[in-house]
Amino acid sequence: MTEALFVLYFLVLIATLIVKTPVIKGPWLFLLRAFFPNWKFFHAVGYVPHLYARSAVQLAPGELQWSDWVLIYPRRVRRLSHLLHNPDTNIGLAQQNMVDHFWADLHDLPEGKDPRGLVSYQMMQRLSVQVLRARHVNFTHSQFELRMVLDGRTENVDTQVMMTSPVEAAC
């Protein structure tokens, strides 16, 4: 019995690799996608979406002093204890999954349509403000940017800006 289940498992696995299924789209599936990981990270080697943010302090009316761009999802340090309990990396992976979904939404957005109406845009805006608040106590304005980065073995080979948000006043 166990051998039959084992063989059946591999037959189903091989069938999923051979049979091409259509892409399922719909409003309810779109809302439920937060529960499913984005498996596109093995789709192709190349540019990867990265989220950057920066903050500004208003010095005078119309004059802002900007900070440097900050990478929202830097790599976490790995430790042996993370095999048992690793909430920091788990939240980082969830945030990067949101960035991947935001990239997919921008890619599918019709030409000339405003991305600020996207739910994923609003999530990126909140994530960037949350990270900036953790790093900079006082700021009056913020901005985020989605960049497509081509990584080499030791450094970034190429970076292309896909979208820069408008400057937003901090709440």
The answer to whether position 25 is within a domain reads no
Mean pLDDT value across the chain: 83
Residue 68 clears pLDDT 60, i.e. is over it: yes
The answer to whether position 19 is within a domain reads no
Q: Which residues fall within 8 angstroms of residue 158, CB to CB, at 6 or more apart?
A: 47, 149, 150
Instruction: Report pLDDT for 161.
Output: 92
Residue 56 clears pLDDT 60, i.e. is over it: yes
Instruction: Name the 3-class secondary structure at 84.
Output: coil
Instruction: Report pLDDT for 1.
Output: 78
CA–CA dist 90, 44 (Å, integer): 23
pTM strictly above 0.85: no
The answer to whether position 89 is within a domain reads yes
The answer to whether position 8 is within a domain reads no
**Count of the separate structural domains present in the chain:** 1
Instruction: Report pLDDT for 118.
Output: 92
Return the closest-CA partner of residue 122 out of 104, 152, 102. Answer: 102
